[in-house]
Amino acid sequence: MEGHLSSGRMAKGTPTDQKLMQKLQKDFVEVQGTLDQNRLLINEISKNQESASSADWNRNVGLIRKLNSNVQVVHKLYANISSNLARSKGSSSKGEASRAPKSNGKHGKKTTESG
């Protein structure tokens, strides 16, 4: 993933493109860190679930809450990444947007605007 972020058209562009790339890189690093933490939480939850100790099972309540919170963080980060990319794409290709397929609101069918 890092290869895509450090190379390509946007990395060589304007200062705004460079700021976008820095923001994307920061968000992807945060996503990866949170996903790594989730992996550790899931491993500990699994281990505690196999235990006969009620203390371990009770500890899982807090671990599952933390896992749920982390999933929400990852969701927000991906939403930010998506929004930043869409804004960047929109500002770099306004002419292409008018020819892009758009939903007509009828169960995913696409129409193409002519103009």
Neighbours of 96 (CB within 10 A): 10
Q: 1: part of which helix (H) or strand (E)?
A: none
The secondary structure of 7-68 as a DSSP string is: SSTGGGS-HHHHHHHHHHHHHHHHHHHHHHHHHHHHHHHHHHHH-S-HHHHHHHHHHHHHHH
List Cβ neighbours of 101 (8 Å cut-off, separation of 6 or more): 110, 111, 112
pLDDT digits over 33-80, tens only?
Answer: 999 999 999 999 999 999 989 999 999 999 999 999 999 999 999 999
pLDDT band (50, 70, 90) for residue 94: low
Count, residues in the chain:
115
The first and second tokens of residue 17, run together, are: 């493109």
pLDDT digits over 18-38, tens only?
Answer: 899 999 999 999 999 999 999
Cβ contact 77:34 at 8 Å: yes
The first and second tokens of residue 32, run together, are: 């990866």
